[in-house]
Structure 1
Amino acid sequence: MAEGVAEERAERERSVAVPLTGEPLPLELVNTTYIKGGVRGRRMDALAAGPEALDSWLAAERHRFAPGVADALAAAPPAGPERYQEFLELRRALRALAGARTSGEAPDPEALAVVNAYARTAADWRELAPGPEFRAVVRRAVEDPLRLALGAISAAAVELFAGEGAERLMACPAPGCILYFVRTHARREWCTVGCGNRVRVARHSRRAREGDEAG
């Protein structure tokens, strides 16, 4: 019985494994929603399980944050419902902006407001520390580790959508895919090798059918 429960739990964990890693943090958050199974697949949400899923995602991505934020996240208490909802709100805004950026549309004002509000929590500055020696310390606008993470992701999104490399931001053109990626080289067309293979197989099948019909 215990083995059956463990297998079921492992299968659930595999079913929500995020299929894309290594993209900028804003896209990593956006890509926690994806389609499993291609064109006839179903929409998955790696954060659907609630605050615990967010904790797991932040732990997996912690090394991607700046050292000060990463250290704060390492010592952070578990995420509560409020912070969880804030991350979901940011994810919705980032997806809307990514869609607009890659399709040439104007950004949604509400999505802009969400990203800009969280980006302000990334503010930090250097001060002289109290004491007998001259020593600089970094102060931050907020101390909550999860709000620091929200700020870091939002600040990175500003650069992603408006920086020098913004034109490399792509929506994966594979049918049934809703992921975004940054085109790291000219020949890259798809978010993953899997999407590229699926498209090539579909093209081959279509050409085969057309050949049969022509014959």
Structure 2
Amino acid sequence: MIVGEATTRIGRRAAETENRQTPRPPLTGEPLALDLVNTTFIRGGLRGSLVDALATPSDLDLWLAEHAEALPDGPAGWTSTPAAAVHLDGFRRLREALRELCRASVAEEPRDERAVAVVNRSARLAVNWPELGGPTEPGPVVRWAEPDPHMVLLGAVAVSGVELLAGPVRHDLRACAAPGCILYFVRSHRRREWCTPGCGNRVRVARHHRQRRS
């Protein structure tokens, strides 16, 4: 949880965003890369509409605040400087690339080279190294190759995607089996088919209605 003055600033921007009734993704708590992918979702079931929870830079601020515990501290400034359009564009490009790579992984198809290039280029933004600090800094000081704090966070999400898609957890990556749902999740148990209980309930209700009509 972000504490202190940073919380106040982010909370104020988050409240302003929520006042515009920004829709929140129905599934969170997955690896960072999947939580980014799942910021586009269908609201209303099979005949629902596509929703984008990252429509504005303020939406991106809210999403980053919600995932602060999973993000690196990065260069000082991301909690006090609002996201700009260029940051939003970067996150949305990464989201599109990760969604395509997740789709290919689940379908056991070759990876799209352009999507791979987007993820790899973004991951380089998270490059950092430790240095010895001054007399008042007893521990190592982390330096970042990328000076823009929001782009460092973009890199961190891309690294999460690399770990997801190239590591052993990729074997548990699933697309929700509910018709009309476009969310992805890492399977937590062998029988899990749905992203959320809501999707599972919707499928069971539809199945029940079909059986009654037959």
For the superposition of Structure 1 and Structure 2, which TM-score range results when normalised by the shorter chain?
0.7 to 0.9
Residue among 21, 34, 43 paired with 2:50:
43
Deviations 1:138-160 (A, max 9, x none): 21111211111111000010010
Q: CA RMSD in A?
A: 2.1
Partner secondary structure for residue 137 of structure 1: strand
Instruction: State the distance in 1 between where 2:91 and 2:177 align.
Output: 26
Give me the identity figure in percent: 51
Deviations 1:154-180 (A, max 9, x none): 001001001011111101010010000
Residue among 59, 80, 86 paired with 2:84:
80
TM-score normalised according to structure 2 size: 0.86
Partner secondary structure for residue 34 of structure 1: strand
Q: Which has the higher helix share?
A: 1
Q: Would the aligned equivalents of 2:75 and 2:144 in 1 still touch at CA under 8 Å?
A: no
Q: Which runs of 4+ in 1 moved over 6 A?
A: none
Deviations 1:70-100 (A, max 9, x none): 975323x111111111111111111111111
Q: Would the aligned equivalents of 1:18 and 1:32 in 2 still touch at CA under 8 Å?
A: yes
Output the amino acid matched with 1:90. Answer: L
Deviations 1:125-149 (A, max 9, x none): 1222244987422211112111111
Instruction: State the distance in 2 between where 1:201 and 1:70 align.
Output: 49
- For residues 1-215 of structure 1, the aligned pairs below 5 Å read 13=21, 16-48=23-55, 50-66=56-72, 68-69=73-74, 72-75=77-80, 77-131=81-135, 135-210=139-214
Aligned residues: 198
Partner secondary structure for residue 13 of structure 1: coil
TM-score normalised according to structure 1 size: 0.85
Output the amino acid matched with 2:58. Answer: E
- Do the aligned partners of residues 11 and 83 (structure 1) sit closer, same or farther apart at CA in structure 2, a change above 3 Å counting? closer
Q: Would the aligned equivalents of 1:98 and 1:161 in 2 still touch at CA under 8 Å?
A: yes
- Do the aligned partners of residues 128 and 51 (structure 1) sit closer, same or farther apart at CA in structure 2, a change above 3 Å counting? same
Partner secondary structure for residue 168 of structure 2: coil
- Do the aligned partners of residues 105 and 133 (structure 1) sit closer, same or farther apart at CA in structure 2, a change above 3 Å counting? closer
The structure having more radius of gyration, on CA atoms, is 1
Instruction: State the distance in 1 between where 2:136 and 2:20 align.
Output: 56
Which runs of 5 or more residues in structure 1 are unaligned?
Answer: 1-8, 211-215
